[in-house]
Amino acid sequence: MAHTAKILLLGSGELGREFVISAKRLGAYVIACDSYAQAPAMQLADAAEVFSMLDGEALRAVIHKHCPDYIVPEVEAIRTEVLAEVEAEGFTVVPSARATQMTMNRDAIRDVAALELGLNTSRYRYAESLAEVLAGAEHTGLPCVIKPVMSSSGKGQSTVREAGELEAAWTYAVDNMRGDRRRVIVEQFVDFDYEITLLTVRHRGGVTFCPPIGHRQERGDYQESWQPTPMSAAAIAAAQDMARKVVDDLGGYGLFGVEFFVAKGENNTEEVIFSELSPRPHDTGMVTLVSQNLSEFDLHARAILGLPIPPELRARPAASAVILADRASDTVGYSGLAEAMANGSEIRIFAKPVTRPYRRMGVALATADDTDTARKLAAEAAGKVQIHYGE
Ligand SMILES: Nc1ncnc2c1ncn2[C@@H]1O[C@H](COP(=O)(O)OP(=O)(O)OP(=O)(O)O)[C@@H](O)[C@H]1O
Ligand SMILES: NCC(=O)N[C@@H]1O[C@H](COP(=O)([O-])[O-])[C@@H](O)[C@H]1O
Ligand SMILES: [Mg+2]
């Protein structure tokens, strides 16, 4: 074959699009899959398959049709039982079928982290009825955060400050959950000072960490991220220790985005609280496209293909800011790129075929002498890109 490896990419959004670029630079042949045609990664891949990845039979058929060397999930919403089956047949699932199964279900990964590995997490309870939600909130105290066990990007998530809001939060979670398990996690609200993503690469040569990425979320979805973010040496060591434990438990090779909350205590101490992780590149990690010599997508591709990862990964001060749609439209266009890039920022447009409210359509990326300046530049650039909607 003219290629170094055949990769089946399950999910073809913006993260997949950058991964395709990284993998193809290393000579891979990529088949991009998603539930709709012309998805961002499909526009660059060698081949595409359009089907629901939650449909087990369809997923199995596509895997057997292409017989890839690597199956690389890009989203959570995949029939992960099929990944476990094909792994048993001898296919390689990235990073491992177990990792995709555990992280798709908040309860599975939380139980591993808190109960098996003893990581520091917020107080939590699971609930399958309103009565259990009320009992859960008794356990965590208020405010608390309610999230479907199967969801991502903040879908179905709400923060409850008064007991009277619990019923609405339960209904909202059930109405916006993915999959068929009517189950939520009731989590103690963490009054953190900042939150980070610790990109962690598990590869042939061991485990390597990127400098921590700070980020700001709204509606449970990321708005801006920056790297590096200041953190005490003790807090970085605590986060790295927890990240290593969890990626070693999940197994396989690839890049993981491990999310932590950091709360400042007395005498400038910082308490690091594990939140969750993605066994794949993380949206807040798009900043690495300009901050690191090897982006999170390059690192994922290298780890998967068994190629070397440098022992130390550095980042120059940089930031990313998202470009969001504000309404639904079947046609989309852009202007203002020149104005946006006038301050030195880079703009990435994902070329998603349709818009919906809050859908991420692009990202602005900036570097500067310090992250505060980079954040200002990226936000300013993102604000100058205009999205044009159809009638
Ligand atoms: N217990 C909590 N206390 C305070 N804030 C929280 C808590 N849980 C979640 N959040 C806030 O909501 C954001 C999204 O939560 P979380 O990462 O659990 O959801 P998600 O839907 O899996 O998001 P994604 O898939 O985009 O990572 C967090 O990054 C944080 O800002
Ligand atoms: N937090 C997870 C995340 O950022 N995932 C990224 O968003 C895409 C879906 O976007 P869409 O909903 O606009 O199709 C996914 O395919 C992935 O690239
Ligand atoms: Mg998250």
The verdict on the CB of residue 359 being under 6 Å from ligand 2 is yes
pLDDT digits (tens, 9 = 90+) for 7-62: 999 999 999 999 999 999 999 999 999 999 999 999 999 999 999 999 999 999 99
Cα–Cα distance between 322 and 26 in angstroms, integer? 28
Nearest CA to ligand 2 atom 15: 13
Please check whether the domain covering 319-391 is classified as CATH 3.65.10.10.
Answer: no
The answer to whether residue 46 is catalytic is no
pLDDT digits (tens, 9 = 90+) for 209-248: 999 999 999 998 999 999 999 999 999 999 999 999 999 9
Assigned fold of 123-188: Dna Ligase; domain 1 (3.30.1490)
Cα angle for residues 38, 358, 169 (degrees, 5° grid):
120
Ligand 2 mean position to 139 CA, how many Å? Answer: 33
The verdict on the CB of residue 276 being under 6 Å from ligand 1 is yes
The answer to whether residue 284 is catalytic is yes
Q: What is the pLDDT of residue 181?
A: 83
> Is residue 179 over pLDDT 80?
no
Q: What is the pLDDT of residue 302?
A: 98
Mean pLDDT of the chain: 97
Please state the rounded mean pLDDT for residues 261-265. 95
Please check whether the domain covering 190-316 is classified as CATH 3.40.50.970.
Answer: no
Looking at domain 5-93, which CATH architecture does it have? 3-Layer(aba) Sandwich (3.40)
Kindly report each contact of residues 236-242 with a partner whose C-beta sits within 8 Å and lies 24 or more positions away, as own/partner: 236/212, 238/272, 239/196, 239/198, 239/212, 239/272, 240/198, 240/200, 240/209, 242/113, 242/117, 242/119, 242/120, 242/272, 242/274
The answer to whether residue 154 is catalytic is yes
Q: What is the pLDDT of residue 210?
A: 98
pTM, full prediction: 0.98
Q: Which element (helix H / strand E) includes 257?
A: strand 254-264
Same fold? 5-93, 190-316: no
The answer to whether residue 283 is catalytic is yes
pLDDT digits (tens, 9 = 90+) for 76-134: 989 999 999 999 999 999 999 999 999 999 999 999 999 999 999 999 999 999 999 99
Band of the pLDDT at 153, cuts 50, 70, 90? confident
Q: Which ligand is nearest to the CA of 356?
A: 2
- Domain locations in the chain as residue ranges: 5-93, 123-188, 190-316, 319-391
The verdict on the CB of residue 154 being under 6 Å from ligand 1 is yes
Ligand 2 mean position to 361 CA, how many Å? Answer: 10
